[in-house]
Structure formats: C-alpha cells, structure tokens
Structure 1
C-alpha cells in the first residue's frame, strides 16, 4: 500500500473552496496516478474522518512561453472530498 501522505500533496484554498467547507467538502491536489478509493483511504487515515464521496478531475497543463521558448505547465489532479455528516471538520482548515 502507498503512503497516504504521498498521495495527498496539498490542500487547495480559494474563495470557491472556502464556500465548500461550510458543507464539509474539501479540495486537495493529489498524485496524478491515485484513484478514488486510494484518495478516500488516505484522507480517512490522515485526518481520522469518514468520507462519503470523492470526485476527481485532471487539470490540463497550460501553454507558457519564456522569450522564444514555449512549453506547457505540468498536468495535475484535483480531488473534492465530501465528509459524512457526523464527521468533525478538518482542523487543518479551521484557521482559514
């Protein structure tokens, strides 16, 4: 089994994700090879909560240029995690 802290890279905190937190939905950047069940197990192990659903999406790389050189930023994966009603809110996000 993979280390859960390797699957979950960082939380994503924006205005929209701050609104999600009122409904116990949290957004994380995750490893691009991780699937929904691995993400669910990792969140449950790290934060000791019960997860009801996980939605994932791949965010494509954007074209960038520096002078005459052009390329793309890296593609990454985002996961929206819904906690159960009886779960506590994540203390990681309480200061936001």
Structure 2
C-alpha cells in the first residue's frame, strides 16, 4: 500500500449521517472529497488508502448556503460528496478513522 500524499488531498473525511448509514447497507461509503477531484482520482485514492476494490463512484456537489455571520451576509463553502460503491466482500469501517 503505497499511499501518495495526493490521495489524502483527494479524500477529506468520511461522512456519517443517517443517509450515509442507509447507503452503507447497500455497500456504499460516503466521503467528502476535494471539489476538483474527478471519479478516477477518487476511485484510485480509496483503493490505495483502504485496500479495497471499488465498483462505482457517484458524486454530488452541494452548493454552500448564504447565512448571516456577525450581522453581515456570508457564504458557506461548496461541498463535494462521493458515494463509493464497493465490490461484494469489501468493507470500510469509517467509525474507526483513517
């Protein structure tokens, strides 16, 4: 397992929400990834870092909300999520950390 520093730049953190937990029942794991990362980069990073086989990668970009910060308007950052479907027999336990 030869993890290059770029792999840690691609995958930021696992997302543990109710929806992500329901996706894990179908063999998928959800990660927050770099906004400019593409699907082959995400697949390569997950396979290298966790030593699993990836079946598919689906991505979604959530636009940041406009909120009030200290009386003025501010904008939250845009977030890109990757739903990584694993081959049967492969698992990643995201509750233990990297």
Q: 1:40 aligns with which of 43, 62, 68?
A: 43
Structure 2: tracts of 5 or more residues without a match: none
TM-score normalized with structure 2 length: 0.86
1:91 maps to what in 2?
Answer: 93
The CA RMSD over aligned residues, in Å, is: 1.9
2:22 maps to what in 1?
Answer: 19
The alignment of Structure 1 onto Structure 2 pairs a total of residues equal to 94
Deviates more, 1:11-20 or 1:46-55: 11-20
Structure 1: tracts of 5 or more residues without a match: none
1:24-76 alpha-carbon deviations (Å, 9 max, x no partner): 10100000010000000000000000001000011101011124310210111
Q: 1:60 aligns with which of 51, 59, 63?
A: 63
Distance change (3 Å), C-alpha of 1:43 and 1:27: same
For 1:42 and 1:48, how far apart are their aligned partners in 2? 10
TM-score normalized with structure 1 length: 0.88
User: Is 1:51 matched with 2:54?
Assistant: yes
